[in-house]
Amino acid sequence: MLSIEDGFIRIESPDPMEYLDAEVEKDTITIRQPNFGIDRIKLEHVKLSCKGDNAMLAAKLENKEQLVIKEIERPKLNDGEALIKVLYAGVCGSDVTVYSGKHPTATFPVVLGHEVLGIIEDIRSDKPVQFKIGDRVTVDPLISCGVCEACRKGFSHVCKELKLLGIHEDGDMPSIRKHP
């Protein structure tokens, strides 16, 4: 797992048998993950801190095999949205497929990540909500239309307009993320 946390890049693996190697040299981080067929992911000119309160860092895939840590604008909440501070973002097989350019529908550039654990920092809603500031949450990475036949029948995972965070829309590898 690769996560950005308080200006540091953390690399963890839940499987002690999984081989993961990372080298840090000046402003370049090189990660090797042979179990997923990745010989090398190279992050160059890594910036591990931001200027100002309105900026944050994100892992953005500019194009096939071109992953950068980039400063982006902190999101502004609209009604019905929550601001989530990302604690951990997992790297799964889908991320690897997108990174390698083998995902058939992925779009570039895109902020990676769709398996995330975070804490709600703020909520904007005129209606009562089931969550409160400080709650630990995960995020549903599916974005469905809600009106097609599949969605109306409760099968939003096969929506005609289905999009996925980190593949078609910016995902959960900034340090702060907004969600409905």
pLDDT digits (tens, 9 = 90+) for 158-176: 999 999 999 999 887 777 7
If one compares 174 and 93, the residue with the highest pLDDT of the two is 93
Question: Are 122 and 82 within 8 A, CB to CB?
Answer: yes
What confidence category does residue 23 fall into, taking pLDDT thresholds of 50, 70 and 90? Answer: low
* Per-domain residue ranges of the chain: 2-179
Residue 156, pLDDT score: 93
Question: What's the whole-model pTM score?
Answer: 0.69
CATH topology of domain 2-179: Quinone Oxidoreductase; Chain A, domain 1 (3.90.180)
Q: Are strands 21-25 and 136-138 parallel, antiparallel or unpaired?
A: unpaired
Q: How far apart are CA 42 and CA 38, in angstroms?
A: 11
What token pair was written down for 6? 């308080």
What single-letter amino acid sits at 9? I
Q: At 175, which amino acid appears?
A: S
Residues, the chain: 180
The per-residue pLDDT for 36 is 52
